[in-house]
Structure 1
Amino acid sequence: MGEEHLSDIDVQELRKIEDADFEEEWVSRRSRPWLLPLLLGTALGIAIALGGMRLLANRSAGQQNPVATKPAANLAPSMTVTVAPVEITRIARTLTTTGTVTARDLIPVLPQTNGLQIKQVLVKEGDSVKQGQVLAILDDSVLQDQIRQARADVESKQADVGSQQADLASKQAAVATSQANVASRQAVVQQRLADVAQTKARLDEARKNLQSYQQLANAGAISKQELLTRTTTVATATEAVRLAEANVRSAEQDVLSAQAAVKSAQANVNIASANINSAQAAVKSSNAKVQQVRTQQGQTVVRAPVSGLIAEKLVRVGDVTGVPPQTQVGTVVGGTQKLFSIISDGSLELQALVPETQLSQVKISAPAQITSDLDNRVRLQGRVREIQPVINQQRREATVKIDLPQTNLLKPGMFARAVITINTTVGMAAPEKAVLPQPDGTTSVFILSGEDTVRAVKVERGESLIGGRVEIKKGVKVGDRVIVDGAGYIKDGDKVRVVNRQ
C-alpha cells in the first residue's frame, strides 16, 4: 500500500515508533554530544514527511469514488447543479454493419455517331450536369463534306427532273398530234363512206336503166349500141363502187395507223412520266441523305441524357468514337464505346453486408444512420430500400441496399458504416451528461434525495439516443431526479444547490 492510502491509525503508530527512536537517540546523544545536530535534522525530516503523508491522505480522500459509502459531514451546500427526471421514451434497437457506397442508377452516355474524332471534352469527373447539357463535341468536318456532296447530288437530280418534264411535254404534244391525225383520218373515212354510198346509188340507177333498155332492146325499140352503152355504164358504176369501198378500207387503215400512233405516243408519255417520278424519287432520296447527314452533324454534340453527377470520363480529345483504347475495352456497351457515366440525380446507395443470421431482423424502409470512420462530418440518415435475395455462399452474407441523401461528402467506392434500426421498445432515458463512467468499468448517476442531498447509485447503460440522452436499463426508476450539470464534481451525500429543474 502506498503512503497516500495510510489511515490516521497508521500515522499515529508511526509517530510512536518515531518518538521511541528519538528518545533512544537522545540518551545516546548525551554520551556522544556530536550526534545532537544529526538527530535534530533527522527529527525535522520525519516531521516534514509525516505532514506530507497526512496531506496526501486527505487529498486522496477527497478524490475517492463518488459511490463511496462514507457520508459527508452535515455542511452547507457547496455546489450548484441542475437536475433532470428519468423519463419513459422509445428506444431503437440497432444493427451495425459496413459496406461500400455505390451509384443507385449509373447511366452510360454513348455516342450517337461512330467513327468521329473527339474535338472537345467539356466536363470532368465529379461535375454536376443538367439534362441536355453539352458534355463533348465531335469533329464534323467529314460530315460537312458529305453534306456538300449530297446537296450537289440533289441539284443534279433536280436538273434531271426538269429534263424529264420537258420530254414529257414533248411526248404529250406528240399524243395530241396523233389524236388530231386520227380525227382527220376518221373524217376521210366518213367522206369515203359517203362516196361509196353515192357510187352505189349510181350503180343502182345504172342497173335499173340497163333493165329498162334491155326490155326496149328486146322489143326492138332501141339499137344494140344503146344497150351496150347502158351495159358499160353499169360496169363503170360497179367499178366505181369497188374503188370507193377500197378507198374506205384504205382510210380505215389510216385511222388504225393513226390510233396506233396515238397509243405509241401515250406510251411514250407514260414512260416520260415514270422517268419524272424516278427523277423526283432520286431528288427525295438525295434530300433525305442531306437530312441524314445533317442529323448526324447534330449528333456530334454529346449531351447529358439525365441530370446528375459525372462518375466516369472515359474519353480524351483525339479519341475516335466507337474505337475504344486498349485500356478501355471494358467500356463498350452494346457494341458502342461508353464516353461518360452519370449518377442519375446524384443518388447514392450504401450496399451494406448483413450476416445471414441477422438478415431476418432487417426490414424494408427501416431507418439507418450512416457514418464514416475517415470523416466525422458524415452523419446521414438513410433508409433500407432493397434486400437482395441471393446470399453469398462463401461469406454467408446478404447485400442490403440503403438509400442515401444527396451529399458531397460521400463518393462511389468509399467505405461507410450503417446503424440500421431493427425495432423500437419502451425504456428509461436520462441526459448523457448525468451518466458517469467509473474506473471499474461500471456507470453511476447521482440522484437528488429531498431538496439538497445527492445519492450515488450504479446503473446499467444502454443505447445512446438522439438529443444527448442515453438509455438506462436498470438502477433507477421513472421520475428519479438525476444530477446533470455538476455531476462530475460531487460525491455521495454532498449537499447541493439546485438552480433549475429540467
Structure 2
Amino acid sequence: MDNESFSEVEAEEPVIAEEDIFVSKPDARQPRPWLMPLFAGTGLGIAIALGSMGILSYLPARQQTAVANKTAPKVNPAMTVTIASVEKTRVTRTFNTTGTIAARDLIPVLPQANGLQIKIIPEDIKEGTFVKKGQVLAILDDSILQAQINQAKADVESKQADVAAKLADRASKLAITASNQAIVQQNQADLAQTQARLEEAQKNFQRYRKLAKAGAISQQELDTRFYTVKTAREVVRLAQENVRSAKANVGSGQANSNSAEASINKAKADVRSSVARLQQLQAQLSQTVVRAPVSGIVAEKLARVGDVTGVPPQTQVGTIIGGTQKLFSIIRDRRLELQAKVPEIQLPQVEVGASVQITSDIDNRVQLQGRVKEIQPLVNDKRREATVKIDLPPTDLLKPGMFARAAITVNTTLGMTVPQKAVQPQPDGSAILFVLSGENIVRTQTVEVGEPIDGDRVEIKGLQLSDALRVVVDGAGYLKDGDKVRVISQKDEV
C-alpha cells in the first residue's frame, strides 16, 4: 500500500467513526453537510505531515549534515603547534676549507742486508693491513749467507789452530832459553873455578921462582910451574868464551821467544777478525727476516718475491732511500693528518691547537674532531695558500690521498639560537621564523642563519633577544603570517 492510499484510509476512518456516533445517539442532532469537507482536509494534512517525516527518516546522515551545514556559519580552526624559546648560547665561529688526507708519520722499511733475493712474503701482508711491531713482513734467501758462515767458521778454526801451534813453538823456545840460561850459570861457575886455579898457579909460580933464584929447585921445576900457569890462563879464557857463548844463546832464545809472542798475537788478531766476520754474517742471517719496525698500517708494498734487495726494479727507481731499496712503508699507529689549504688572508685566524671538524662528501659517517698541529711556514706564491696540518684521531673511514672538508674554529662568541626545525627556508634563499605574539597570533620574522649548534639547534641573526620571545617549532611549515595557533606544549619541555 502506497503513501497516498495510506493517507486516504486514515482520512476516512475519523469520518465514519463520527457518523456512527451520531447515529447511535437517539437525541443527537442531524449532521451538517458543510463539516464533511473540513474534516477531510484536516485528515489529509495530518497524513501528508506524517508521510514527510517518514521520508526524512530514510535520508542518509551525510545528506542531513549537508543540509544542516547550509545553515551553519563557516569557522576557521586554529593550528595546533609547539613552541620553543630563543636562547643565548656560546657560538663557535669557523671557516671552511678542504684538503688531502696524508700519513702523519710514514716509516720506510728498508732491508738490512743487500744483495739477497726475497724468498717469502706472507699472504696477509698487503696494503691497508695493520701490522704489529716485530711482525714478519718478508724473508730473504739466506743460502749464500749460510755458505759464507760455514767458511767463516772454518777460517776461525784454522786461525785458532795456528794460534795453538804458535803457542807450542813459543813454549819450546822459552824452554831453550831457560836451558841456555842454566848453561850460562854453569859456565860462569866453571869460569870462577878456573880463575881460582889460575890464581893458585900464579902464586905457586912466584914462590917457585924465588926458590929457583935461591938454587933450591931446578930450572926445569920452575918451567913446569910456568906452564901450569899458562895452561890455567887458557882454561880461564875458554871458560870465559863458554860464558859469552851461553849468554849469546840466551839472547837468541829470548829474541826467538819474542818473535813467537808477536806471531801468537798476530794469530790471535786473525782469530778475532775471523770471529768478527762470523758474527757479522750471523747478524746478517738474522736480518734476512724483515720485521715491522713499528705498529701501523701498511701504506706501500713495493717488495715482490724474487726481487733482490738493493737492486730495485726499473719501476721502483724512486724508492731508493740512502742507497737502499725501500720494501714497505708503514703509517705509524694508523695516525693520519689532513693537509688543508688555507688562503693567506685567513691564515692569521688559524692557531695551533684550534679545534677542527672533519667531514667527507662521499661518506656521511665521517664526523671527526681534529686539532691544528702545524702551520707550514711557506705560502704558495701562485695560489696564495698555506698548508695547515691537522691531526686526526685513529679511524678506518679515511685513507691517505682521500679528499676531506675541514671547519676550522677561529673564535667563540655569544649568539641567539633556536631549534633547527623552527627555521623555514624560503624560495629566494632567505629564512624566516614564526614568532608567537599576544593572543596566540604568529608573525613572520626574516632572519639570517648562522652556525649549527649541537646538531639540533642553529644560530640566528636579526632578532632582538627577549625573555618572552618564543618561536613555533612543530607546525611551522603550515603557517602564514597572522595565523592564530593553539599551543599544546613548550618544545623545551617535550
> Partner letter of residue 421 of structure 2?
K
Output one character per residue of 1:160-188: Cα deviation in whole Å (capped at 9) or x when no partner: 12222221222122112212221221121
Change beyond 3 A, Cα 1:365–1:283: same
Q: For the residues of structure 2 that align with 1:451 and 1:254, how far apart are their CA atoms?
A: 147
Q: 1:95 & 1:288 partners in 2: Cα distance?
A: 63
Q: Report 1:247-326 matches (<5 A).
A: 247-326=235-314
Contact 2:83 2:487 in 1 (8 A): no
Offset of residue 454 of structure 1: 3.7
SS where residue 327 of structure 1 aligns? Answer: helix
The aligned residue for residue 476 of structure 2 is 487
> What are the residue-to-residue correspondences of 1:35-54 with 2, within 5 Å?
none
- The alpha carbon displacement at 1:73 in A equals 6.2
Which residue of structure 2 aligns with residue 349 of structure 1?
A: 337
Corresponding residue SS for 2:404:
strand
Distance in 2 (alpha carbons) for counterparts of 1:74 and 1:450: 19
Question: What's the counterpart of residue 204 of structure 2?
Answer: 202
Given the superposition, is the C-alpha separation of residues 391 and 78 from structure 1 closer, same or farther in structure 2, using an over 3 Å criterion?
A: closer
CA contact (8 A) 1:94 1:423 kept: yes
1:151 aligns with one of 146, 150, 153: 153
SS at match of 1:202: helix
3-state DSSP class of the match of 1:90?
strand
Alpha-carbon contact 1:354-1:399 (below 8 Å) kept: yes
Deviates further, 103-112 or 312-321: 103-112
Secondary structure at the counterpart of residue 88 of structure 1: strand
Q: CA offset at residue 452 of structure 1? A: 4.8
Distance in 2 separating the partners of 1:289 and 1:462: 73
Shift of the alpha carbon at 1:137? 1.0
Counterpart for residue 30 of structure 2: none
CA distance in 2, matches of 1:472, 1:364: 29
Equivalent residue number for residue 185 of structure 1? 187
Cα distance in 1 for residues equivalent to 2:445 and 2:419? 15
Match of 2:136 in 1: 134
1:271-293 deviation per Cα after TM superposition (whole angstroms, max 9, x unaligned) = 22222222222222211111110
1:239 Cα shift? 2.4
Q: Paired residue for 2:34?
A: none
Q: TM-score, normalised to structure 2's length?
A: 0.80
Superimposed CA distance per residue, residues 130-173 of structure 1 (whole angstroms, 9 cap, x where no aligned partner): 22222111111110001111111111112212222221222122
Q: Which amino acid aligns with 2:364?
A: N
Equivalent residue, structure 1, for 2:35 = none
Q: 2:455 aligns with which of 463, 467, 478?
A: 467
3-state SS of 1:114 partner: coil
Shift of 1:476: 4.8
Check 1:362–1:154 CA distance in 2 against 1; reply closer, same or farther (3 A cut).
Answer: same
Contact 1:206 1:230 in 2 (8 A): no
- Higher mean displacement: 439-448 or 411-420: 439-448
Max Rg structure: 2
State the SS of the aligned residue for 1:482: strand
Residue 451 of structure 1 and its aligned partner are, at CA, apart by 7.5
Q: Which residue of structure 2 lines up, in the alignment, with residue 164 of structure 1? A: 166
Per the alignment, residue 57 of structure 1 pairs with none
The amino acid of 2:145's aligned partner reads: L
In 2, distance between residues paired with 1:171 and 1:457? 118
1:498 counterpart (466, 488, 492): 488
1:385 to 373, 377, 385: 373
Between the aligned partners of 1:392 and 1:359, the Cα distance in structure 2 is 12
How far apart are residue 320 of structure 1 and its match?
A: 0.3
Q: Which residue of 2 is the match for residue 51 of structure 1?
A: none
Question: 492-501 vs 337-346, which deviates more?
Answer: 492-501
User: For 2:163 and 2:449, how far apart are their aligned partners in 1?
Assistant: 95
**SS of residue matched to 1:499:** strand
Q: What code does the residue aligned with 1:96 have?
A: N
- Using the TM superposition, give the Cα deviation of residue 294 of structure 1 relative to its aligned residue in structure 2, in angstroms: 0.1
Report the equivalent of 1:104.
104
Q: Distance in 2 between matches of 1:190 and 1:373?
A: 115
**Distance across 2 between alignment mates of 1:440 and 1:342:** 51
Structure 1 residue ranges (4+ consecutive) displaced by more than 6 angstroms after TM superposition: none
Deviates more, 1:351-360 or 1:326-335: 351-360
Moved more, 143-152 or 355-364: 355-364
Provide the C-alpha distance between the structure 1 equivalents of 2:364 and 2:76, rounded to a whole number of angstroms. Answer: 47
Equivalent position of 2:114 in the other structure: 114
Contact 2:79 2:475 in 1 (8 A): no
Please give the secondary structure, in 1, of the residue aligned with 2:218. helix
- Report deviation, 1:407: 0.9
Amino acid at match of 1:486: G
Q: Distance in 1 between matches of 2:487 and 2:277?
A: 94
User: Over aligned residue pairs, what C-alpha RMSD do you find?
Assistant: 2.0
The amino acid that maps onto 2:485 is K
CA distance in 1, matches of 2:275, 2:339: 53
Mapped pair 1:92 → 2:80? no
Matched letter for residue 489 of structure 2: V
| CA drift at 1:193 | 1.0
Q: Which amino acid aligns with 2:192?
A: Q
Tell me which amino acid in the other structure corresponds to 1:151: K
| Residue 487 (structure 1) shift | 2.4
Structure 2 distance, partners of 1:405, 1:478, is: 41
**Residue of structure 1 in register with 2:355 after alignment:** 367
Whether contact under 8 Å (1:459, 1:476) holds in the other structure is no
Letter in structure 2 aligned against 1:238: F
Name the SS of the counterpart of 1:116 in structure 2: coil
Query: 1:416 corresponds to which residue?
Result: 404
- In structure 2, stretches of 5+ residues that fail to align are 1-73
1:403 is aligned, of 391, 395, 399, to 391
Aligned equivalents of 1:380 and 1:263: distance in 2?
Answer: 89
1:450 CA displacement? 4.9
Q: What secondary structure does 1:257 align onto?
A: helix
Written as runs of structure 1 = structure 2, the 5 A alignment for 1:227-242 is: 229-242=217-230
1:221 aligned residue: none
Match of 2:58 in 1: none
- Contact 1:428 1:478 (C-alpha < 8 Å) held by counterparts: no
DSSP 3-state at the match of 1:357: coil
1:21 match: none
What is the deviation of 1:244? 0.6
- Residue deviations 1:435-477, cap 9 Å, x none? 1123343322223335755443332222222231111101352
Count of residues paired in the alignment: 415
Contact 1:92–1:424 (CA<8 Å) still a contact in 2?
yes
Distance 1:108 1:321 in 2: 14
